[in-house]
Amino acid sequence: MADWKEYYQNEDDDVEQDEEDSGGDYKVSGRDSLVFLIDASKEMFIKGEDGEPSNFDMTMQCVRSVYTSKIISSDKDLVALVFYGTEQSKNPRNSFKHVYVYHDLDSPGAQRVQDIDKLLGEKGAQMAGKILGSGETSLGEALWCCSNLYSDIKLRLSHKRLMIFTCRDDPHGGDGAKDRQARTKAADLKETGVVIDLMHLTKPGGFDVSLFFCDIVSPPEDESELGVQTEPSRKLEDLQKRVRAKELKKRAQSRLTFSLGEGVNLAVGVYVLARTATKPPAVRLYRDNNEPVRTKTRYFHTHNGGILLPNDMKRAQVYGKKQIVMEKDEVDEIKKFDDPGLVLMGFKPMDRLKLHHHLRPALFIYPEEEQISGSSCMFTALLLKCSEKNLFALCRYIPRRNTPPRFVALVPQREEMDQSQTQATPPGFHVILLPFADDIRTLDVHEGPTASDEQVDKMKEIVHKLRFKYRSDAFENPVLQQHYRNLEALALDMLAPEPIEDLTSISCVLIVLNGSLLSFFILLCSHTFYVPSVPKVKMIDDRLGPLVQEFKDLVYPSDYNPEGKPAAKRKPAESGGGAEKKAKIEMSEEEMKNHVAKGTLGKLTVAVLKEACKQFGIRTTGTKKQELIDALTTQLSK
């Protein structure tokens, strides 16, 4: 009989599966595709001021970054690299002049990354001049060529995007015929579902988007997108940020109905803003040909060896020494509480939401106007009122069918923009899953010594001196980064992997507890705590100055030595000589026979079993617990 867990999964497993599956009736199938269309004109190769890289070199670094990230995160996606405005021509059937297809639309790989490495730096610019060259520009022909790349793909594509990299706001120099051809081909691409984005780069005199490219690029896909940026990218970080924001498709994990009351509903999309990044699982290969091995599971009858089908098996759970057997339909009916969705239960002040209520990374909801008209207006009104009154909404949350309900807190978040007017934080509600009463544990906390007010005030000064602004997106996981650097070095035939900077090896972490700080004070003042690399003691001392010594004087006695080890003290024996021996544990023969009859000899310790063997004169060949049990059972069963 199959295990009950195969039918009723743990709720944690359901939530983890929710993060991977799209859930509900909204599911995206197919592969993403991305085409880089890069200007190869002479203006792209002009170096910036103060030795800054050229626009072409900056673009190629960005393309390489996308290639490597695709290999890690989604190696099934398709990527292509096309240059326009070249002297040489290379494309399918050579139908288009001054268009060079460097990479066809295919999955990224190590060889493609090596090809891009050849176009980086000074030597890369020279290589590009020999292979590509700079010639006439016809963006219409380049877009036509990209359209053919998409039409030649027989796979199902879920998302198609084309990015244009250029520093020329008028690529055709006022040629009206070429401008009209480009606008026509761009419109044709948009009709086939291709999203065209402009990644314009800096140029002397500024880049005027309205001159030509405003008719080429696609409008924003939803209200959360800002569309084309007016300011060009001047640095590699800005360019990578914009590309990353565009090439990642915003996909809802699920789309649910948010019920505010009887007959008042709106539609929301549930998004995952953060999830744990893990190493990809190892792929099993057949040793003879290195082909992937596929595993299959079959269930067999224990008596006749016949194969069991799903309808031949039932699930059971033991309760009170009785086996409770249920059918699949019965289990589904028990698990079904209500239809998937969010139901508003009420509102609570934000101070009622505690840190220990946060069980796992929060989800994020955003209105879906396409599902229910008016959702955006109602959602915005609720968001503004909750934000103004500093309230969170308490809701019942069922992510999908046959899933137990959870209580969640909807924490409002308003939209924020950065200096370049790019959206830094989107407007919406964070969905924080709350614990049930059964999930909260009551612990008996050991009460340690309490610090005095003077000690606490002095430590506040130390904490203030060592504070720094923490941003989680500024620290990469060093284990993952080293893992992928090693794989990259093997795949690209590099002599050694690129070194990584371990940003987690900070010099100290300040932990502020209410009242009880002495254990942390000892670590801070003696500098004996361990971190992966050498702590920046000099920087800490420069910042703190005499504060550490002043704090030592408040906490420790004058003769305290943190390096010294206290001498081990021996407890005096009560009756003369050596240490007190443990008392022997003796059991009567009747008690041992009762253990044998009940089969509970295994609950006794090895020391007790050995003493019993000596007491009853039983000789054993070994000292293992099972051998002692067997010898006692044989002797006392006679």
Contact 34, 80 (CB under 8 A): yes
- Is the model more confident about 131 or about 582? 131
| Nearest-angstrom CA–CA distance, 197 and 163 | 5
Question: Does 316 have pLDDT greater than 80?
Answer: yes
Contact 134, 86 (CB under 8 A): yes
In degrees and rounded to multiples of 5, residue 243 shows phi and psi of: -65, -40
The SS3 assignment for 552 reads helix
With cut-offs at 50, 70 and 90, classify the pLDDT of residue 509. Answer: very low
Give residue 420's pLDDT.
Answer: 67
Question: Does 571 have pLDDT greater than 70?
Answer: no
Question: Does 424 have pLDDT greater than 60?
Answer: yes
The mean pLDDT value for 31-53 works out to 87
| Nearest-angstrom CA–CA distance, 628 and 614 | 11
Of 496, 519, 524, 495, nearest to 509 (Cα)? 524
Question: Does 142 have pLDDT greater than 50?
Answer: yes
Q: Locate 205 and state its tokens.
A: 């005199």
Give residue 479's pLDDT.
Answer: 84
Least confident of 159-168, 372-381, 538-547: 538-547
% of the chain with per-residue pLDDT over 90: 21
| Nearest-angstrom CA–CA distance, 330 and 334 | 6
Question: Does 88 have pLDDT greater than 70?
Answer: yes
Question: Does 504 have pLDDT greater than 60?
Answer: yes
| Nearest-angstrom CA–CA distance, 209 and 228 | 8
Give residue 569's pLDDT.
Answer: 53
With cut-offs at 50, 70 and 90, classify the pLDDT of residue 310. Answer: confident
- Is the model more confident about 571 or about 366? 366
Give 268's DSSP letter: E
Give residue 224's pLDDT.
Answer: 47
Question: Does 202 have pLDDT greater than 90?
Answer: no
Give residue 199's pLDDT.
Answer: 87
Residue 204: CA atoms inside 13 Å, Cβ hemisphere, count? Answer: 6
- DSSP calls for 425-486: E-SEEEEEEPPPGGG-----PPP-PPPPHHHHHHHHHHHHHT-----GGG---HHHHHHHHH
Give 579's DSSP letter: P
With cut-offs at 50, 70 and 90, classify the pLDDT of residue 135. Answer: confident
Give residue 480's pLDDT.
Answer: 82
Q: Locate 153 and state its tokens.
A: 């793909």
Q: Where are the alpha helices (DSSP H) in 192-327?
A: 236-247
Give residue 564's pLDDT.
Answer: 64
235 has catalytic annotation? no
With cut-offs at 50, 70 and 90, classify the pLDDT of residue 392. Answer: very high
Give residue 605's pLDDT.
Answer: 83
Give residue 265's pLDDT.
Answer: 92
| Nearest-angstrom CA–CA distance, 551 and 554 | 5
| Nearest-angstrom CA–CA distance, 418 and 348 | 31
Question: Does 572 have pLDDT greater than 60?
Answer: no
| Nearest-angstrom CA–CA distance, 70 and 531 | 33
Least confident of 79-88, 91-100, 369-378, 592-601: 592-601
The mean pLDDT value for 17-24 works out to 40
With cut-offs at 50, 70 and 90, classify the pLDDT of residue 544. Answer: confident
| Nearest-angstrom CA–CA distance, 512 and 457 | 12
User: Which of 27, 123, 250, 385 is an active site residue?
Assistant: 27
Give residue 636's pLDDT.
Answer: 78
Of 98, 84, 93, nearest to 35 (Cα)? 84
Give residue 278's pLDDT.
Answer: 82
Question: Does 295 have pLDDT greater than 70?
Answer: yes
pLDDT in tens, 447-484: 778 888 898 998 999 998 888 777 777 777 888 888 88
Contact 382, 442 (CB under 8 A): no
With cut-offs at 50, 70 and 90, classify the pLDDT of residue 232. Answer: low
Of 598, 346, 597, 596, nearest to 609 (Cα)? 596
The mean pLDDT value for 14-27 works out to 41
| Nearest-angstrom CA–CA distance, 434 and 432 | 6
| Nearest-angstrom CA–CA distance, 74 and 20 | 13
